[in-house]
Amino acid sequence: MIGNWDADQLGQILDNLLGNAIKYSPEGGTIDLVLASDGEVARLSIRDEGIGVPAAVRARIFDQFFRAPNARSGGDHSHIEGLGLGLFNAQHLARRHGGMIEVESMEGLGSIFQLILPLNPNDSDISTEETEAPDDGTP
């Protein structure tokens, strides 16, 4: 798979998604990662066995400063820290790359967060650094 992605920003997205899977899962719970491609997009699915996201608020979890009620209380867990910025930032960075993050979840049963990013199959040399034309004095 070849994609034109900024490694630091991709790392921030993954830190958030994996960090949430760990933070909201029970100790010893399973977290599955699956990477797939259909030739046009890469899909990284992260499935956890955590507290899940209530259906009533699922559409808002990518809103800035929003935290689901069970995330604020921790459900069966002690209070779970957070500001409601992680998923907002992760979605923003995914969109900057022409992609998105989707979620499927059942409260109490866990979640599947899917990072979807476009592929660039014709790019043989991917670089995140911008190059400037030499200044030879011509307009």
Q: Is the pLDDT of residue 22 over 90?
A: yes
At 136 the pLDDT is: 45
Note the pLDDT tens digit of each residue in 67-78: 887 776 654 445
Give dist(CA 26, CA 77) in Å, integer. 8
What mean pLDDT value characterizes the chain?
Answer: 82
As beta bridge partners, residue 44 has: 35, 115
Q: Give the burial class of 136: count Cβ atoms within 10 A of its Cβ; 0-12 exposed, 13-18 middle, 19 or more buried.
A: exposed
Q: Model pTM? A: 0.78
Read off the pLDDT of residues 27-68 as tens digits, 9 standing for 90 and up. 899 999 999 999 899 999 999 999 999 999 999 999 898 888
Spatial CA neighbour of 35 closest among 123, 130, 116: 116
Separation between Cα atoms, residue 18 and residue 45, nearest integer Å:
10
CA distances from 122 to 29, 37, 40, 72, 86 (A): 40, 15, 11, 45, 32
- Looking only at the bridges linking them, the beta strands covering 41-47 and 32-37 are antiparallel
- pLDDT category, 119, cuts 50, 70, 90? very high
